[in-house]
């Protein structure tokens, strides 16, 4: 099975490494194809790499994750974006979901949690689409 | 059934309903009622009736039932709300509140049969009108969701979703479910309403009506497979009428309850976490750019987010106590036969819930003083050329990081000269000291315990009943009280309060070999005092700063009891105000600003008024937290 190509967006290198580590150890299901440390960079990397999945931090310098999500969805309305939020950001997460993000994970993450949420957002995943 | 377990829940919920009804009814008297407001009144009366009946409080149930009957007529359009019937319902609602007070105090409930009877007299039996006719007439106004949904001929499915308890951000989770459902149908109705999801007040139970061609079991397994969904049931429509889901929505919002005690535990925990984090950061002292630095940065942000979340959770709008204030003002004015208009502004400003609770009694005292003593009788007002109705204004506003609370009336005011005289006559002060008081200082005399009782026998209005309590309560909350008044024009009480409590920032300073914390909210600035610029004046050492005279208090001297000890050549000091006076608290060294967790003092230290509590510092040391206002008092034996 071809691995799912992922772009990781987070301003903290630590968080990026952590997500990357989780994805790299998921039996070859995911391939991290790129990273970005702010919203502006995320849009550029998305255009360039056209990943199947984006993990997006919300609070970032230059351009926040919600704006970046809106911009990316303008580029590709079918983009699958999962927000990464800290505790206490419920309103921001709700706004992101309204903007078109597919789901969210809350920091601090656990491996199981990340993989569970990502598995559910991709088209064709079990439970991901009952209609098709 | 043993109902005692439910008593707290009953009183809290019933109080909420009664207060909301009070607000709606006063709005109704002022501007009339919208259809949705009548519906809400009806639903709330209905809830009170049911709850009171279940608890066995039949006088409340009977009264709420009568209210419900009249509201039902309004709802069906059989009658329209008129001023006198609104006034009657207001009376009934106030009576419900009195009954609830009796419940809380475990007293016998005052009967309300006369009021119930008066309401019932407005509801003659009308067997000719079937209720369905009224209901049918209102159907087209069901709202945009209902109207839009009629175009969609797909079958209605009723979905109940329970989000796993303990799941992070349940509101956002609900939002994800709604968005995912849109892939399979059109959402017709959501309960609770979508805006609730972003507020943190969502309790994890979501009911959705969706128009979809998907089979119920397939939809159920789709939703059931989403993260954090604990249970999902899907049933064929038609959904129950809108009234039912509305009632459920009200229930869903109001059932998110945590006892204040548990909130306090949570805040304590967060406070400890913040301190541990600060300690960790200092003991690790990571290399710039290292992984440790990254971890600490992320941890710091999580801790900050958690603290903000907890503090926000404790915030309540001022409006949550306004109905109780309005009611008590109305009661008292009615009893005294005075006409009073109470205007409350800034009801949307939020305060820590304990601050709100603590301020309720003082505000009630203040209102009582204004109505009973401050505001003149109608005739006296006319003679003075004032409008016949007395006026009281409460204004709450946020000023940077403080909350300002001002209560003013247009009554007869307080005469500072008379207060000076009483203070001297009753030997609260020597005649000279009393006459030396500025007007503002003289007005503060009313906050001295026992002073009001002394004034009551004089010609001065007996204002001051409980004013000592007001001042103490405000200071306990870390606030400050100033009284301003002009004879014949009115009185104005200005209070400022910190918006949140318990975790606070403080200046740490060193004096007499110990470390002390002074809350940042109490400090107005820092200054360097040069000994040669200090002058002696009336037994105090003062410093001129622009227009102001600042009294210099050496902390070390106060602590050792030697307030006259010579000053070093220069020393740092914290500037603060008490009432209208300024003080500089001289210390050996100001160590900086840090977050502290306030711990209450244990006996017998709690008896020392100069300490507001203890703080545990980053390195585990304990610092006593100084209460500057009380420190000032202990240093100047009057």
As for the ipTM of the complex, it is 0.81
**Which residues constitute the domain of residue B346?**
317-497
First-residue to last-residue Cα distance in chain B: 60
Tell me how many degrees the CA angle B296-B300-B302 measures, rounded to the nearest 5. 120
CB contact under 8 A, B175 and A98: yes
Considering just the CA atoms, what is the radius of gyration of chain B in Å? 30
Q: How many domains does chain A have?
A: 1
Residue ending a domain, choose from B106, B138, B170: B138
| Residues B483 and B568 both lie in one domain | no
**B333: domain CATH number?**
3.30.565.10
- DSSP E strand stretches across B337-389: 340-345, 350-352
- B212, B186 in Cβ contact below 8 A? yes
Whole-Å CA distances, B94 to A32, B101, B410, B540, B619? 65, 11, 27, 54, 54
**A28: domain CATH number?**
3.40.50.2300
| Residues B621 and B490 both lie in one domain | no
Q: What is the value of pTM for the model shown?
A: 0.40
CB contact under 8 A, A102 and B176: yes
Q: What is the pLDDT of residues B135-160, one digit of tens each?
A: 333 333 333 333 343 446 677 888 98
Residue in chain B lying closest to A95 (CA): B198
How far is Cα of residue B526 from the mean position of the Cα atoms in its chain?
Answer: 32
Residue A77 covered by a domain? yes
Q: How many domains does chain B have?
A: 5
CB contact under 8 A, B301 and A87: no
**B208: domain CATH number?**
3.30.70.1110
**pLDDT confidence of residue B607:** 57
| Residues B349 and B492 both lie in one domain | yes
b/e map of B354-393 (b: 16 or more CB within 10 Å)? bbbebbbebbbbbbbbbbbbbbbebeebeeeebeeebbbb
Q: What is the pLDDT of residues B213-268, one digit of tens each?
A: 888 888 888 888 888 888 888 888 654 444 444 444 444 444 456 676 777 778 77
Residue A128 covered by a domain? no
**pLDDT confidence of residue A127:** 41
| Residues B400 and B482 both lie in one domain | yes
Instruction: Choose among A14, A94, A131: nearest Cβ to B291.
Output: A14
**B609: domain CATH number?**
2.30.30.40
Binding-site residues on chain B for chain A (CB distance < 8 A): 168-169, 171-172, 175-176, 179, 183-184, 197-200, 214, 218-219, 221-222, 224-227, 291, 294-295, 297-298, 301-302, 305-306, 308-309, 312
Confidence of residue B313 (pLDDT cuts 50, 70, 90): confident
Chain B positions in Cβ-Cβ contact with residue A127 (cut-off 8 Å): 221-222, 224-226
β-pairing, B622-626 vs B514-519, is parallel
Q: What is the pLDDT of residues B495-535, one digit of tens each?
A: 988 766 555 668 889 998 888 988 777 788 888 898 888 88
| Residues B128 and B150 both lie in one domain | no
**pLDDT confidence of residue B99:** 93
| Residues B365 and B441 both lie in one domain | yes
Is A50's pLDDT higher than 50? yes
Q: Considering only residues B299 and B251, tell me which one the structure prediction assigns the higher pLDDT.
A: B299
Q: What is the pLDDT of residues B372-397, one digit of tens each?
A: 888 888 888 999 899 999 999 999 98
| Residues B10 and B121 both lie in one domain | yes
Q: What is the nearest CA distance from A12 to chain B, expressed in angstroms?
A: 7
| Residues B531 and B411 both lie in one domain | no
Confidence of residue B619 (pLDDT cuts 50, 70, 90): low
CB contact under 8 A, A87 and B168: yes
CA distance B253 to B13: 11
Residue ending a domain, choose from B497, B512, B544: B497
Is B637's pLDDT higher than 70? no
| Residues B471 and B593 both lie in one domain | no
β-pairing, A30-36 vs A4-9, is parallel
Residue A126 covered by a domain? no
Binding-site residues on chain A for chain B (CB distance < 8 A): 12-15, 85-91, 93-95, 97-98, 102-104, 106-108, 113, 116-117, 120, 126-131
**pLDDT confidence of residue B452:** 61
CB contact under 8 A, B295 and A97: no
Residue A98 covered by a domain? yes
- B585, B512 in Cβ contact below 8 A? no
CB contact under 8 A, B302 and A107: yes
CB contact under 8 A, B306 and A87: yes
Residue ending a domain, choose from B138, B157, B185: B138
| Residues B329 and B431 both lie in one domain | yes
Residue in chain B lying closest to A117 (CA): B227
Is B447's pLDDT higher than 70? yes
Is A43's pLDDT higher than 60? yes
- Neighbouring-strand partners of residue B395: B345, B406
| Residues B530 and B607 both lie in one domain | yes
**Which residues constitute the domain of residue A14?**
4-121
Mean pLDDT, to the nearest integer, of B418-446? Answer: 86
Q: What is the nearest CA distance from A88 to chain B, expressed in angstroms?
A: 5
CB contact under 8 A, B225 and A88: no
Residue A32 covered by a domain? yes
Is B295's pLDDT higher than 60? yes
Residue (of B205, B252, B259) closest to B233 by Cα position: B205
- B469, B476 in Cβ contact below 8 A? no
Is A1's pLDDT higher than 50? yes
Average pLDDT of the residues of chain B: 78
| Residues B280 and B237 both lie in one domain | no
CB contact under 8 A, B226 and A91: no
For B377, which DSSP code? P
β-pairing, B156-163 vs A103-106, is unpaired
Is B482's pLDDT higher than 50? yes
CA distance B294 to B287: 10
Is A41's pLDDT higher than 90? yes
**pLDDT confidence of residue B634:** 60
């Amino acid at each position: 099975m071809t691995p799912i190509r992922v772009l990781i967006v987070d301003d903290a290198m630590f968080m990026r490494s952590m997500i990357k580590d989780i994805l790299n150890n998921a039996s070859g299901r995911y391939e991290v194809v790129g990273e970005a440390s702010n919203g502006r960079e995320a849009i550029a990397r998305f255009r360039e790499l056209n990943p199947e999945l984006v993990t997006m931090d919300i609070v970032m310098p230059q351009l926040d994750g919600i704006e970046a999500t809106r911009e990316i969805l303008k580029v590709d309305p079918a983009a699958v974006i999962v927000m990464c939020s800290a505790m206490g950001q419920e309103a921001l997460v709700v706004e992101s979901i309204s903007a078109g993000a597919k789901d969210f994970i809350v920091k601090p993450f656990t491996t199981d949690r990340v993989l569970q949420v990502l598995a559910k957002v991709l088209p064709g995943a079990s439970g991901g689409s009952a209609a098709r | 059934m043993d109902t005692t377990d439910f008593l707290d829940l009953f009183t809290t919920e019933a109080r909420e309903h009664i207060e909301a009804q009070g607000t709606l009814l006063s709005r109704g008297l002022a501007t009339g009622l919208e259809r949705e407001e009548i519906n809400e009144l009806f639903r709330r009366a209905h809830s009170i009736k049911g709850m009171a009946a279940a608890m066995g409080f039949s006088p409340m149930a009977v009264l709420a039932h009568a209210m419900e009957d009249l509201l039902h007529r309004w709802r069906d359009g059989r009658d329209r709300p008129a001023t006198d019937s609104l006034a009657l319902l207001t009376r009934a609602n106030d009576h419900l509140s009195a009954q609830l007070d009796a419940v809380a105090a475990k007293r016998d409930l005052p009967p309300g049969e006369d009021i119930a009877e008066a309401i019932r007299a407005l509801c003659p039996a009308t067997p000719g009108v079937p209720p369905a006719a009224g209901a049918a007439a209102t159907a087209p106004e069901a709202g945009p969701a209902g109207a839009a949904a009629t175009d969609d001929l797909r079958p209605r499915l009723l979905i109940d979703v329970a989000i796993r308890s303990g799941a992070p951000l349940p509101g956002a989770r609900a939002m994800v479910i709604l968005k995912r459902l849109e892939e399979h149908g059109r959402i017709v109705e959501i309960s609770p309403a979508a805006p609730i999801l972003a507020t943190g007040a969502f309790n994890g139970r979501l009911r959705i009506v969706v128009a979809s061609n998907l089979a119920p079991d397939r939809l159920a397994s789709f939703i059931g497979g989403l993260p954090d969904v604990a249970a999902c049931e899907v049933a064929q429509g038609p959904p129950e009428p809108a009234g039912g889901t509305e009632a459920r929505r009200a229930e869903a919002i109001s059932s998110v309850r945590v006892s204040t005690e548990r909130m306090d535990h949570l805040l304590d925990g967060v406070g400890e976490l913040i301190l541990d984090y600060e300690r960790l950061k200092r003991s690790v002292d990571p290399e710039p750019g290292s992984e440790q630095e990254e971890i600490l940065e992320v941890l710091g942000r999580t801790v900050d987010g958690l603290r903000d979340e907890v503090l926000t959770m404790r915030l309540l709008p001022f409006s949550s106590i306004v109905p109780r204030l309005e009611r008590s003002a109305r009661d008292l004015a009615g009893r005294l036969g005075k006409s009073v208009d109470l205007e409350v502004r800034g009801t949307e400003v939020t305060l820590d819930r304990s601050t709100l609770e603590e301020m309720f009694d003082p505000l009630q005292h203040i209102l009582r003083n204004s109505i009973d003593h401050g505001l003149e009788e109608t005739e006296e007002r006319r003679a003075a050329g004032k409008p016949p109705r007395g006026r009281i204004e409460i204004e709450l506003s946020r000023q940077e990081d403080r909350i300002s609370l001002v209560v003013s009336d247009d009554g007869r005011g307080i005469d500072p000269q008379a207060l000076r005289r009483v203070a001297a006559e009753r030997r609260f002060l020597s005649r000279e000291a009393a006459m030396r008081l500025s007007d503002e200082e003289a007005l503060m005399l009313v906050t001295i315990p026992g002073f009001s009782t002394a004034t009551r026998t004089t010609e001065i209005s007996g204002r001051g009943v409980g004013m000592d309590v007001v001042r103490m309560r405000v200071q306990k909350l870390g606030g400050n009280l100033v009284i301003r008044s002009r004879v014949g024009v009115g009185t104005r009480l200005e209070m400022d309060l910190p918006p949140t409590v318990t975790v606070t920032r403080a200046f740490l300073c060193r004096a007499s070999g110990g470390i002390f914390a002074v809350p940042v909210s109490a400090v107005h600035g820092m200054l360097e005092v040069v000994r040669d610029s200090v002058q002696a004046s009336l037994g105090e050492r003062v410093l001129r700063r622009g227009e102001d005279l600042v009294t210099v208090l050496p902390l070390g001297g106060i602590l050792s009891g030697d307030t006259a000890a010579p000053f070093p050549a220069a020393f740092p000091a914290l500037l603060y105000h008490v009432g209208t006076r300024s003080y500089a608290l001289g210390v050996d060294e100001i160590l900086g600003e840090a977050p502290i967790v306030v711990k209450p003092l244990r006996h017998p230290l709690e008896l020392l008024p100069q300490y507001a509590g203890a703080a545990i510092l980053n390195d585990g040391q304990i610092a006593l937290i100084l209460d500057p206002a009380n420190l000032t008092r202990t240093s100047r034996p009057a």
